Structure 1
Amino acid sequence: MARSWMVELLRAALFLCAVTLPAQDAPASSAPSGHAVSAQAATSGVNDLAKATQNPVASLISVPFQNNSNFAVGPYNRTQDVLNIQPVIPARISDKWMLISRIIQPIVWQPTASAPTGGEYGFGDMNPTFFLSPAKPGKVIWGAGPAMVFPTATSTSLGQGKLSFGPSLVVLVQPGHWTLGFLTNNVWSVAGSSHRPFVNQLLLQYFITYNLKKGWNINSGPIITANWHDKASGDAADGDDTTPGGKWTIPFGGGIGRVTRFGPQPVNLSANFYGNAVHPPNASSWGMRLQIALLYPRKPRG
């Protein structure tokens, strides 16, 4: 079932690209002068929207459906699949400040790593984050606030079973065609099942995007994680690739994206591939990320 999500997402992305390319790429010289001006304005709007989608604290409501396929899990080379539904909603709370709510709800297919068949499918732990950000940022755009993990998983193999809290920070700049920045948080468990391990986990995502013409971009946004509570010294004796102080997953890679329209609806499409240079034993060595995001621009007040 999880793989069908990935297939449908890919089909939808290809379909959206197919139906929008002719309209977006029509030469201006084939239209009357007034239409040419409108097309130029539309292109400028798409480019501005593209940069807004790369800013986690922009005045833009977005509803991404992000499918992550993690390949080569366990000795039987199985595939884990995680569909993240992660709406981002900004709210102006004063003339100087905005509050951006970012909620991630995973739907997970977790294969049984020690067997060639079987696994669990259901909801993972919900991860809300709230950023307080200047309503009129300068050259350096930033937001800070709490990150949380709620134990909403429908199976013990799909979540941590702990309520966790911690700080989160996002910082970025957007000079010219570029978007450069990072998002990070660290959460610690404060409640939950006493039979589940304590949580002390770092997440760091750096993002680099170069914007091309007509809403296209080349991008990289790997997500680095570290489990600080992992008993790395004990595991190292078993020959795994962890280092003292945490069990790391360090991916590298990138892909392409495009902001375009499906009829009147702006959408952000992207496809990325990542290899894990460092990962826990029996974890995925490489993966694919496909995303379709519905975009709802909001015109900022004065």
Structure 2
Amino acid sequence: MLKTVLILVGALIFTDTVFAKNVDELAKDFASPHSRLDRFPIQITNNYRVGPLENGSVLEMALRPHLSLDMGTDWNLVSRSFLPVLYHEKAFPSSDYEFGLGDLVQTFLLTPAKPNSQWSWAAGAAFEAPTATDTFLGAGKWAAGPAVSVAYEEFQYTFGILAHYLWSFAGEEDRSDISLASVQPFYNYRFGDGRAVNLMFESVYNGEQEEWTHPAILSYSHIFSYSQTDEAELGAGFKYLVSGPEEASEWGFRVQFSFIF
């Protein structure tokens, strides 16, 4: 009997250790924009003090799948999608409430399968499709442009930057042209057991209006095992507008749940 109990206790300790090592490896891969870890984040952000009167709000649920495809022995193709479902409340002077899909932004990045150092990089293209179900929820234009990313990775932290630029080339003629740069520097520090703190900027430059918007997001995330073969990520954070136009959201909250494949 004692032998059986010791075996069971040892098995539990070993299993917990394996799970801990596994989630730490997953947390490291999750932080890299170039990793082969497939995941499907669902990100919900509630933005407050939106619009010229600062009395509006925008609730955004973004579907952000990250998928990697082997392109032979030397290269991987990383697909990163962003499809928002939006609810606007008094965000525009001429509209009280709007709900529906926003525009899809799709990025394809080609990255070396085996980086030679702790630095990794990727280059490719970004596209925007007018998938919005309402005029207030999208730009009504097709757009495309270059995309790049760079990351540096250590055992406990990862930092880097993702960027792309979009120019419109087709779409509704009565809508404004798109000339947008997205620049996202990030820093991820891992505490172990799948836990991490994240700081990033989701900066956007509007070339048509010649102005920057710099929201900063500070968040905490935890990757955990809910079975012997399945893991997920859960995170929450705070968003604050460092600088930007008057109608931009001043602050907000964010939660994220990610399926890991």
TM-score normalised by structure 2 residue count: 0.91
1:66 corresponds in structure 2 to: 43
Matches within 5 A, 1:129-140: 129-138=107-116, 139-140=118-119
Q: 2:61 aligns with which of 83, 87, 108?
A: 83
SS at match of 1:221: strand
Q: 2:182 aligns with which of 183, 196, 203?
A: 203
Is it true that 1:186 corresponds to 2:165 in the alignment?
A: yes
Q: 2:250 aligns with which of 259, 262, 285?
A: 285
Q: Which sections of structure 2, spanning at least 5 residues, go unmatched?
A: 1-5
Matches within 5 A, 1:238-277: 246-263=210-227, 264-277=229-242
SS at match of 1:154: coil
- Residue 128 to residue 117, structure 1, CA distance change in 2 (3 Å): closer
For 1:283 and 1:267, the matched residues in 2 are separated by 32
Deviation at 1:141, TM superposition (A): 1.2
Q: 2:194 aligns with which of 200, 215, 220?
A: 215
For 1:31 and 1:273, the matched residues in 2 are separated by 42
Q: Indicate conservation of the 8 Å contact 1:142/1:170, yes or no.
A: yes
Is it true that 1:36 corresponds to 2:16 in the alignment?
A: no
For 2:8 and 2:94, the matched residues in 1 are separated by 58
Deviation at 1:76, TM superposition (A): 5.3
Q: Indicate conservation of the 8 Å contact 2:57/2:90, yes or no.
A: no
Matches within 5 A, 1:97-246: 97-113=75-91, 118-138=96-116, 139-230=118-209, 246=210
For 1:189 and 1:117, the matched residues in 2 are separated by 25
SS at match of 2:91: coil
Q: Which sections of structure 1, spanning at least 5 residues, go unmatched?
A: 1-28, 231-245, 297-302
* Identical pairs, percent: 29
For 2:122 and 2:150, the matched residues in 1 are separated by 7
Deviation at 1:288, TM superposition (A): 1.5
SS at match of 1:50: helix
Report the number of matched residues.
253
SS at match of 1:283: coil
Deviation at 1:33, TM superposition (A): 2.9
Give the stretch that moved more between structures: 256-265 or 31-40.
Answer: 31-40
- Per-residue Cα deviation, 1:16-60 (whole angstroms, up to 9, x for no partner): xxxxxxxxxxxxx99633432332122111100011111122111
- Residue 227 to residue 61, structure 1, CA distance change in 2 (3 Å): same
Deviation at 1:77, TM superposition (A): 1.9
2:3 corresponds in structure 1 to: none
Q: CA RMSD in A?
A: 1.9
Is it true that 1:53 corresponds to 2:53 in the alignment?
A: no
SS at match of 2:193: helix
- Per-residue Cα deviation, 1:83-132 (whole angstroms, up to 9, x for no partner): 11111110101110111111111111122335698211001001110010
TM-score normalised by structure 1 residue count: 0.79
1:14 corresponds in structure 2 to: none
